[in-house]
């Protein structure tokens, strides 16, 4: 299929054809000028606004187009093909509009959304600083009627172009407040102000006028607050939107192909035509994989990162090829190949996170034969003999292990938990205790050797098997009614209807609410008058379904056993541990975990031939 021509659905036709016509004339002819001159960029942006193309993410009720994510992605790609600066700037505005649409501040929506839809007001954004680690650069203090903002926003694009911008500042509790502030120097009084630096001298897209904002005791009124996001919101948002920026990169790749195509027509060199065909085919494959990934709710973050890296790598290679076929003329600043190459560099780092950086570096540093020779363009590189580094992106770490003490709940007959002081600071210069407890006491992991004579001991579990993705199924409401409730296949299928099919090699954690009983030994074990215990667990049918139909890596629960209290034959343990899988028991804080997107880090004591081990389990989310 030709990359340039596609059959468009009706929605796409009404937006994308209008956009394409406008971008071909007058934008394409002025692309170099748009890259350098803010006034020309402003005119191009206003042209999009006059066509209603700056309100694509605003619903029709507010006067916008309300297009689908697929149409918006194609629009992003189209703009990036004809002007990187215009694509970059309008992306800021469309993002601000989308934040207002999601806001619960109705009066603010009334003030801005209709005017945005008519192209009467332009908004920017300034919250990339939330990605930085360490002390926040921009802070907010709640005051009467609003918030006091102080600090620096190091990167705000659109000075002299945008009217206002949405700023983010970190609150004392780690949350972030987002609000609309003027994009011009503003003095509320002698001490309260927003000021801006001169535009940065960037290597590309200098017309976008990127500045640094400085805030000193600036008062943000409550009525201009867009939203308040929880701590770590930016990192979760980045995970969810990994693929969105790929269309800026693929649009840039199209721009490079246009230059190569022109060279084919003017230079009689077969290598140029061959390169054009190869790049067109790879771009088709890349775009197809990205579109498929957008529709796949079960796709792993690592796969999305690899797709993002592929788009970046492809854009830079095609842009480099455009420079190559343009020969010495590409050294001139005004040459299209020079501009497209610099745009590819910008889109390499647009919205970059550490995870995206790692994926990009992994892609760029592949050894010869890992796909660059045209024999394998797969984005997964599953056949590569080189061990690829793995990336885990997270914003919070949560303990899933109880504190170990002498009075914790235990099975009858288990060895008691004991501590003995063997050295004291006053006497020995340091403090040291000896401790004693069973292998299956406190929060712990069961090894295959627990139930099989020839099973693997805990000391033989590979390190990589102890860092594993997990999902959480919540049955606490059922357990409130019936303490003997067992997870069944219907529960699993109902969970999958909402969150997607459980993917291979996940641990399935069962949150029953039993963790709340931990401090009451009798309530936690819940024996009846005959000594029979009553607490929830996994049914054998559910366990077999998870093992054979979902290929899980193991199970975990917040009770003293993955087997329900009424099961004295340890059915689930035996099924799971037939192979060296993972069984975690006595977990806590499962209520703090999302249903999916969790990574467990399981710390064990490598006890020789151990049937299990007390475990320090942490969740990365």
Q: What pLDDT does 5 receive?
A: 35
Residue 345, strand partner residues: none
Residue 353, strand partner residues: none
Q: What pLDDT does 381 receive?
A: 34
Tell the residue number behind the tokens 């910008």, with chain if given. 346
Q: What percent of the chain has pLDDT over 70?
A: 94
pLDDT at 23 exceeding the cut of 70: yes
Q: What pLDDT does 412 receive?
A: 87
Backbone angles phi, psi at 119, to 5 degrees: 75, 20
- State mean pLDDT over 159-185: 97
Q: Pairing state of beta strands 467-474 and 146-157?
A: unpaired
CB 81 within 8 A of CB 247: no
pLDDT at 380 exceeding the cut of 80: no
| Coil, strand or helix at 606 | coil
Q: How far is CA 105 from CA 61, 108, 163, 441, in A?
A: 16, 5, 19, 51
Choice between 32 and 376, residue whose per-residue pLDDT is larger = 32
Per-residue pLDDT reduced to its tens digit, 99-113 = 999 999 999 999 999
The model's confidence at residue 6, banded by pLDDT at 50, 70 and 90, is very low
pLDDT at 374 exceeding the cut of 80: no
* Residue 112 CB neighbours (<10 A): 26
Q: What pLDDT does 298 receive?
A: 82
Among the ranges given (115-124, 377-386, 425-434), the one the predictor scored with the smallest mean pLDDT: 377-386
- Enter the tokens of residue 308: 């993002």
pLDDT at 1 exceeding the cut of 50: no
pLDDT at 382 exceeding the cut of 70: no
| Coil, strand or helix at 277 | helix
Q: What percent of the chain has pLDDT over 90?
A: 84
Q: How far is CA 359 from CA 160, 190, 396, in A?
A: 35, 47, 21
Q: What pLDDT does 296 receive?
A: 85
Q: What is the largest CA-CA distance in the chain?
A: 93
**Among the listed residues 345, 289, 359, 274, the one whose alpha carbon sits nearest the alpha carbon of residue 315:** 345
| Coil, strand or helix at 539 | coil
Q: How far is CA 511 from CA 6, 484, 493, 505, 514, in A?
A: 48, 14, 16, 19, 8
Angle 136-362-618 from CA coordinates, rounded to 5°: 55
* Residue 185 CB neighbours (<10 A): 11
Count of positions (residues) in the chain: 621
Q: What pLDDT does 526 receive?
A: 95
- Enter the tokens of residue 357: 């950086």
Measured over the CA atoms of residue 605, residue 610, residue 614 and residue 615, the dihedral's sign is positive
Q: What pLDDT does 391 receive?
A: 78
| Coil, strand or helix at 582 | strand
Measured over the CA atoms of residue 463, residue 464, residue 469 and residue 473, the dihedral's sign is negative
Q: What pLDDT does 367 receive?
A: 56
Angle 253-356-600 from CA coordinates, rounded to 5°: 145
pLDDT at 577 exceeding the cut of 60: yes
- What gap in Å lies between CA 83 and CA 85, rounded to an integer? 5
- 241-364: CATH topology: Butyryl-CoA Dehydrogenase, subunit A; domain 3 (1.20.140)
Helix/strand/coil (H/E/C) assignment for every residue in 452-510: CCCCCCHHHCCHHHHEEEEEEEECHHHHHHCCCCEECHHHHHHHHHHHCCCCCCCEEEE
Per-residue pLDDT reduced to its tens digit, 201-227 = 988 999 999 999 999 999 999 999 999
Name which CATH class applies to 127-234: mainly beta
- 418-620: CATH topology: Glucose Oxidase; domain 1 (3.50.30)
Domain spans in the chain, listed from the N-terminal domain onward:
10-121, 127-234, 241-364, 418-620
pLDDT at 389 exceeding the cut of 60: no
Helix and strand totals (H; E) in the chain: 19, 22
Average pLDDT score over the chain:
91
pLDDT at 41 exceeding the cut of 80: yes
- What gap in Å lies between CA 368 and CA 31, rounded to an integer? 36
CB 582 within 8 A of CB 554: yes
Q: What pLDDT does 376 receive?
A: 40
Could you list the beta-strand ranges (E) of 370-428.
397-399, 418-423
The model's confidence at residue 295, banded by pLDDT at 50, 70 and 90, is confident
pLDDT at 593 exceeding the cut of 70: yes
Q: Pairing state of beta strands 444-446 and 612-614?
A: antiparallel
Buried b (16+ CB within 10 A) or exposed e, 140-156: beeeeebbbbbbebbeb
Give the contacts of 55 (CB within 8 A, at least 6 positions apart). 62, 63, 64, 65, 97, 116, 117, 119
Q: What pLDDT does 13 receive?
A: 55
- State mean pLDDT over 335-360: 94
**Among the listed residues 439, 444, 445, 454, the one whose alpha carbon sits nearest the alpha carbon of residue 579:** 454
- What gap in Å lies between CA 154 and CA 72, rounded to an integer? 28
CB 123 within 8 A of CB 58: no
Could you tell me the pTM of the whole model?
A: 0.60
Rg over alpha carbons for the chain, rounded to the nearest Å, is 29
Q: How far is CA 321 from CA 279, 312, 336, in A?
A: 10, 14, 13
Report the C-alpha dihedral over residues 495, 599, 409, 569, rounded to 10 degrees: 60
DSSP per-residue letters across 320-342: HHHHHHHGGGGGSTTSHHHHHHH
- State mean pLDDT over 38-67: 95
- State mean pLDDT over 422-445: 96
- What gap in Å lies between CA 190 and CA 229, rounded to an integer? 31
Give the contacts of 614 (CB within 8 A, at least 6 positions apart). 404, 437, 439, 441, 442, 443, 444, 605
Superfamily of domain 10-121: Acyl-CoA dehydrogenase/oxidase, N-terminal domain (1.10.540.10)
pLDDT at 234 exceeding the cut of 50: yes
């Amino acid at each position: 299929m030709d990359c340039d021509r596609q059959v468009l659905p009706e929605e796409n036709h009404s937006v994308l054809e209008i956009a394409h016509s406008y971008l071909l004339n007058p934008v394409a002819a002025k692309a170099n000028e748009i890259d350098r001159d803010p006034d020309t960029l402003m005119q191009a942006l206003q042209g999009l606004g006059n066509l209603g193309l700056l309100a694509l993410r605003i619903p029709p009720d507010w006067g916008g187009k309300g297009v689908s994510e697929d149409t918006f992605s194609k629009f992003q790609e189209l703009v990036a093909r004809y002007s990187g600066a215009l694509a970059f700037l309008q992306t800021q505005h469309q993002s601000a509009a989308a934040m207002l649409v999601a806001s619960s501040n109705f009066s603010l929506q009334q003030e801005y959304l209709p005017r945005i839809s008519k192209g009467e007001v332009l908004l920017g954004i300034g919250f990339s600083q939330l990605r930085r680690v360490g002390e926040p650069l921009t802070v907010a203090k709640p005051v009467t009627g609003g918030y006091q903002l102080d600090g620096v926003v190091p990167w705000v694009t659109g000075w002299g172009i945008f009217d206002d911008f949405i700023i983010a500042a970190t609150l004392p509790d780690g949350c972030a407040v987002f609000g609309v502030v003027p994009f011009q120097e503003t003095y509320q009084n002698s001490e309260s102000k927003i000021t801006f630096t001169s535009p940065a001298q960037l290597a590309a897209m200098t017309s976008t006028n990127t500045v640094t904002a400085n805030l000193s005791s600036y008062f943000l009124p409550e009525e201009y607050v867009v939203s308040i996001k929880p701590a770590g919101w930016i990192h979760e948002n980045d995970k969810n939107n990994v693929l969105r920026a790929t269309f800026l990169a693929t649009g840039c790749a199209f721009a490079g192909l246009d230059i190569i195509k022109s060279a084919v027509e003017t230079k009689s060199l077969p290598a140029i035509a061959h390169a054009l065909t190869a790049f067109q085919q790879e771009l088709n494959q890349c775009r197809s994989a990205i579109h498929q990934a957008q529709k796949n709710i079960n796709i792993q973050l690592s796969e999305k990162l690899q797709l993002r890296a592929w788009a970046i790598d492809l854009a830079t290679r095609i842009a480099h090829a455009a420079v190559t076929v343009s020969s010495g003329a590409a050294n001139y600043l005004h040459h299209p190949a020079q501009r497209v190459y610099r745009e590819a560099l910008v889109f390499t780092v647009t919205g970059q996170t550490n995870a995206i950086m790692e994926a990009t570096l992994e892609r760029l540093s592949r050894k010869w034969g890992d796909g660059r020779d045209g024999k394998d363009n797969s984005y997964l590189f599953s056949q590569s003999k080189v061990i690829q580094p793995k990336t885990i992106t997270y914003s919070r770490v949560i303990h899933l292990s109880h504190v170990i003490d002498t009075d914790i709940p235990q099975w009858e007959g288990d060895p008691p938990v004991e501590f003995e002081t063997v050295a004291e600071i006053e006497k020995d210069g340091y403090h040291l205790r000896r401790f004693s407890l069973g292998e299956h006491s406190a929060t712990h992991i069961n090894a295959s050797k627990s139930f099989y004579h020839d099973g693997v001991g805990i000391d033989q579990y590979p390190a990589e098997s102890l860092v594993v993705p997990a999902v959480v199924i919540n049955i606490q409401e059922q357990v409130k009614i019936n303490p003997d409730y067992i997870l069944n296949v219907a529960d699993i299928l109902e969970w999958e209807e909402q969150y997607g099919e459980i993917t291979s090699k996940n641990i399935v954690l069962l949150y029953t609410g039993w963790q709340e009983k931990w401090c009451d030994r009798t309530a936690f074990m819940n024996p009846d008058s005959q000594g029979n215990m009553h607490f929830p667990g996994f049914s054998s049918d559910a366990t077999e379904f998870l093992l054979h139909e979902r290929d899980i890596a193991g199970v975990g629960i917040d009770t003293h056993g993955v087997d329900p209290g009424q099961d004295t034959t340890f059915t689930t343990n035996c099924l799971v541990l037939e192979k060296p899988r993972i069984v975690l028991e006595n977990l806590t804080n499962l209520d703090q975990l999302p249903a999916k997107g969790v990574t467990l880090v399981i710390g064990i004591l490598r006890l020789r031939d151990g049937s299990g081990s007390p475990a320090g389990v942490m969740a990365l989310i």
